[in-house]
Structure formats: structure tokens, C-alpha cells
Amino acid sequence: MKIIMLGAPGAGKGTQAKKLAVKYKIPHISTGDIFRLNIKAGTPIGLKAKVYIDQGQLVPDDLVVELVIDRLKQPDCERGYLLDGFPRTIPQAQALDAALDQKNDSIDCAIDVNVPDENIIKRMSGRRACLNCGATYHIEHIPPKKEGICDVCGNDLILREDDKPETVKKRLEVYHKQTQPLIDYYRKKKKLLSVDGTKDMDAVFNNIMKALEA
């Protein structure tokens, strides 16, 4: 099974990706992980990517595609894989298709975890984090025992910059501009499965499984 996960930041696609990877016994591959591994190992591709990352720039599409294709050649991908965070743009998707086509291979499906923007803003702005021990909470769904205080170490909880409504709105704008077109791209290829991501985590997973097995 070769799957691409789509969904806005905060839609919960990362959580579903991990569950699917366990279910199908396939690697859960994120571009962030690939970058970190290659940079740490000092590979030629990793060193190229590091130049852009160190300057706060986006890694060019051709280099991202090269890193991903290199990762897909590893033995653990023989039974399939799950791509999370790639492709992000139409050119990346086209480059991936072209590279797979050369091996007479293709993606099986793209799963869109669909959550309205207002739900995501509410969901993410309710998150609270402890900078001391790394524990995370949600003021509605996983509240700490004492408001504003970490259950684990007793330090103050904060609303991270990334989770503030104004930051989330900007991230969603970027998503809709760059990544949303991928939904139409895979729909035209008849490879899109869309699920309601507003339900609880287990219900979303069950609906994904039903769609995959239909």
C-alpha cells in the first residue's frame, strides 16, 4: 500500500498516518525526518539541503524530490510506504509520479483528512505546552488537573507561537494556496479518498479503513 496523507496543519493527519503505518506495517515517511537523517549522516543530498535550511529558505522542489525518491529505494519500502508532508505542491506531485512511472510504479491513493479552518483554529488555539518537560494538553479535550500548570513537573503551561490564532490563520492561507490544489490533482486521477476529520481520532481512523477497503 502506497499512501499520501493530505490535510491542513492541525487536521490530525500525522496521527492518522502513524496509525495507518502500524496497521499496514509500512514506514511512515515525513520530509522533516528525511532532512534530519541526511543532514545528520552528512550525505551529499543532506549537505545541499542544509544550506537552504540554515538560511531559513525552502528547500527547492527538485532537491526535496531527490531526497524522497532516495528514501523510497530503501528495503523497508518494498511492501509500501506512507508519505506525510510530501508532496506539498503540484510540481512535487508531478515529479513523484514521473519518478515512480520510470519504475512502472504508482501511488495507490491520497487520503485527505478534511477539517474546516474554524475547527482547526479552535483546536490549535486550545493547545497548551510545558516548555520544561514537553508535556502537551488541550484546555477542552486533555486539560491539566490545575489550570495553567503541568501535571508532570508543575511548571507553567504556555500557548506556543505556532498555535496562536493569527499564526494558524497564516499557516492555513499557505496551505490553501500551495497544497489544496493537490486535492483536485488526485481527484482527477481518481486516487483521492476524503474523510471527515472533525470526528474523534478513532472514528476518523475507522472511516479511513472503510474507504481503503471499499
The pLDDT assigned to 21 comes to: 95
The pLDDT assigned to 22 comes to: 94
For residue 112, give its domain range. 2-27+74-121+179-213
Q: Is residue 195 part of a domain?
A: yes
Sign of CA dihedral 184, 187, 192, 198: positive
Question: What does the pLDDT profile of the chain (214 residues) look like in tens digits?
Answer: 999 999 998 898 988 999 999 999 999 998 888 888 888 999 998 898 888 888 877 788 888 888 898 899 999 999 999 999 899 889 999 999 998 999 899 999 999 999 999 999 999 999 999 999 989 999 988 999 999 999 999 999 999 988 999 999 988 998 888 888 999 999 999 999 999 999 989 999 999 999 998 8
Q: Is residue 88 part of a domain?
A: yes
Catalytic residue list contains 199: no
What CATH number is associated with residue 85? 3.40.50.300
For residue 29, the cross-strand partners are: 83
What the block records as the C-alpha cell of 125 is 488555539
| H helix intervals, the chain | 13-24, 31-41, 44-54, 61-72, 90-101, 117-125, 165-178, 180-188, 201-213
Catalytic residue list contains 128: no
The pLDDT assigned to 54 comes to: 84
Q: Is residue 16 part of a domain?
A: yes
Q: Is residue 91 part of a domain?
A: yes
CA contacts within 13 A on the Cβ side of 51: 7
Catalytic residue list contains 71: no
Q: Is residue 135 part of a domain?
A: no
The pLDDT assigned to 88 comes to: 87
Catalytic residue list contains 127: yes
What the block records as the C-alpha cell of 60 is 527547492
Spatial distance between the Cα atoms of 202 and 112, rounded to a whole number of angstroms: 16
Q: Is residue 173 part of a domain?
A: no
Q: Is residue 110 part of a domain?
A: yes
Our measurement of the distance from residue 162's CA atom to the centroid of its chain's CA atoms, rounded to an integer in Å, reads 15
The pLDDT assigned to 139 comes to: 93
Catalytic residue list contains 79: no
Q: Which of 2, 13, 71, 123 is catalytic?
A: 13
What angle, 0 to 180 degrees and rounded to 10, lies between the N-to-C axes of helices 180-188 and 165-178? 30
Q: Which of 19, 23, 122, 160 is catalytic?
A: 160
Q: Give phi and psi for 145, each to the nearest 5.
A: -60, -40
Q: Which of 171, 187, 191, 199 is catalytic?
A: 171
Q: Is residue 146 part of a domain?
A: no
pTM greater than 0.75: yes
Q: Which of 2, 71, 127, 128 is catalytic?
A: 127
Count of domains forming the chain? 1
